[in-house]
Amino acid sequence: MGDTIQFNEIIDLSLPLKSQGTPVYPGYPMPVRAIMTTIRDNGYFSNLWAFVEHSGTHVDSPAHFAEGAPPIDKVPLTTYVGRGAVLSFVGREPRYSITRDDVLKGLKDKVGPGWILLFHTGYSARAGTPEWLDHPELSKEACEAIAELKVNAIGFDAPGPDHEPFPAHKILLPKGIAIFEGLTNLDRVADREFVFVGAPLPLVDGSASPVRAFALVR
């Protein structure tokens, strides 16, 4: 018998994907669900969904910001699984710029290849409000520091890790560091040992995909 993964709790880190009720980045339409078949009329129930790839809790592929880079179905699955670390920026002023020192000094454990670095801002609680877009963001220097760590991915409990001109997307995605957006419940995994899992759908030539992200807490 091989070794088994030991964990004590599974914590859901995903926002519900609700028809006409999922906050989306400005300019995107909300997901829409239409009933295709019913048990009463067809003997089985099914829906048709229409949504932008960047809806709800999702992960961006390198192709999102780098022409010719791998789309979501070509990124290795190992990118989306790894030991998790959480840095907290709850209570910072709107659009706080996270610095290189914030990242490097805030990491208590050795974080590098195989890890997924998560940023707890508390902004998932503001989803759907005007303040939702005023979340903390990564500075260019912070992005460069993260790139040097060569982590598998980063994740934010906010619409994204940056604002225009999108330094995180432009620096991290081309280096194969995935970006998870729209996470939630990061307060429940802060200061705990866990494995993060957030595999996307294999959307051929996709720029992103919704995920069911969760933490396996030891």
Rounded Cα–Cα distance for residues 78 and 13 (Å): 18
Rounded Cα–Cα distance for residues 203 and 209 (Å): 7
pLDDT in tens, 84-124: 999 999 999 999 999 999 999 999 778 999 999 999 999 99
Domains and CATH numbers, the chain: 53-217 (3.50.30.50)
Above 50 in pLDDT, residue 1? no
pLDDT at 108: 72
In this prediction the pTM is: 0.95
pLDDT in tens, 191-210: 999 999 999 999 999 999 99
pLDDT at 188: 97
Here the tokens at position 168 are 């995180």
